[in-house]
Homo-oligomer: A and B are copies of this chain.
Amino acid sequence: MTSNPRVIFGKRPAPHESPKVGEHLILDKSRTIDLENVPLNGGFLTKTLILSPEPAMRERMRDPSIPSYTTTFVVGGPILGFGVVVVVRSEKEGFKAGDYLYGLTVWEAYTVQPYVDGMFLLSSHPHGHRLMLAPGRINFKPEEWAPGTFDMDSLALQVVPNPNGLYPLSKYTSIMGTPGLTAFVGMEGIIDGKEGETLFVSSGASAVGSMVIQLAKLKGMKIIASAGSDAKVEYMRSLGADLPFNYKKVNYGEFLQKNGPINAFWDNVGGEALDAALASITAYGKMAICGTSGTDVLPPSEHYRLKNAYLIMKKCINIRGFIVPDLIPQYIGKFFEVVPALMAQGKLRSQETEVEGIENAPQAFTDTLASGHEKAGTLVVVVARE
């Protein structure tokens, strides 16, 4: 028997409360697993290599009465997040021992993954990447999700290339993972920016924001970017932002009025940032609404209330809220063709700081929430080296 530690969701934090280690996030070291004999029931057994503590996980700790597209974490159950795992044993066709998988997985050392039915086959791509979505559903039908009922955990693992030392596995939590994929598909499918146009990105030092800045730079766009500390402002500048600013020192509206107009807006924040962008955007501007981190921990009654919505019509603005699966079918092939090469050429950069051991995972999550990118780079939990 092998020890199989995991991280349990102990209790819901209050709306404004930061989750605490030992109270909301609890390390459970009591479990073991028989790696040779545990029943797979047609699924496959994986070993967790890397876990990515991400601010978006905080939202799944909210009270279930607050509407969002995701289900909430179950109190007493393990938490889930994006990570890289390797297949140990498999009863499922298409998965074999040694395959690297990336996607949502339980924060534990070993996992018997559920049977996966939904799958995109990307047969046109040389590596034959497979995206597997929505276990237990024959068809992946996002148009049927009602708010709050999309089971985030059903966004299952996809087979990804073994980097074979070309880049560290931790890049699957940044450039090669959900942040990079989100930025790439949103920039391709929604913003579609042109050289010389001005893009404003809120929370530009975040994992997604930092990728948006770099991808926009590669398109020749002028970039205005906001974040909440001077350290983040310098980080955004180092990534190529032309006009990075600290919204705690100069408010969104004031900065954009002085430095706009903007042609496009990538929003990770919502509220006041969105309102200022509506005021500053040119007619026929495009907005990719990717996150609402400014309000995610607040009950709706405490949200900032938008005053500039009437400009959507007056300026013929196109606004699209999206999550990454919406655009995966169209752009995943191009992503795998383009992004690893750009990373190899140093044109797409990210900084990660590795934290060793799942026992330090709860602290890594609370540190991520507290500091964002003020530290040297995004925290990544290394659960196991192969």
A interface residues with partner B (beta carbon < 8 Å): 67-69, 142-143, 145-147, 150, 261, 267, 270-271, 274, 282-284, 289-292, 295, 300, 303, 305-323, 326
Instruction: Give the shortest distance, in Å, between A326 (CB) and chain B (any CB).
Output: 6
Find chain B residues with CB under 8 A from A147 CB.
282-283, 311, 314-315
Option from B143, B150, B313 in Cβ contact (under 8 Å) with A289: B313
Instruction: Give the shortest distance, in Å, between A149 (CB) and chain B (any CB).
Output: 9
Q: How far is the CA of A233 from the CA of B48 in the complex (A)?
A: 60
Q: Could you list 14 examples of A-B contacts with CB < 8 Å?
A: A142-B316, A143-B283, A145-B284, A147-B283, A150-B283, A284-B326, A292-B313, A300-B308, A303-B307, A303-B310, A305-B305, A306-B307, A315-B321, A316-B323
Majority SS at the chain A contact face: loop
Option from B67, B150, B313 in Cβ contact (under 8 Å) with A311: B67
Q: How far is the CA of A314 from the CA of B270 in the complex (A)?
A: 11
Which B residue's beta carbon lies closest to that of A300?
A: B307
In the complex, the answer to whether B274 meets A309 with C-beta atoms within 8 Å is yes
Instruction: Give the shortest distance, in Å, between A301 (CB) and chain B (any CB).
Output: 8
Which B residue's beta carbon lies closest to that of A296?
A: B310
Find chain B residues with CB under 8 A from A274 CB.
309
Instruction: Give the shortest distance, in Å, between A81 (CB) and chain B (any CB).
Output: 19
Find chain B residues with CB under 8 A from A69 CB.
283, 314-316
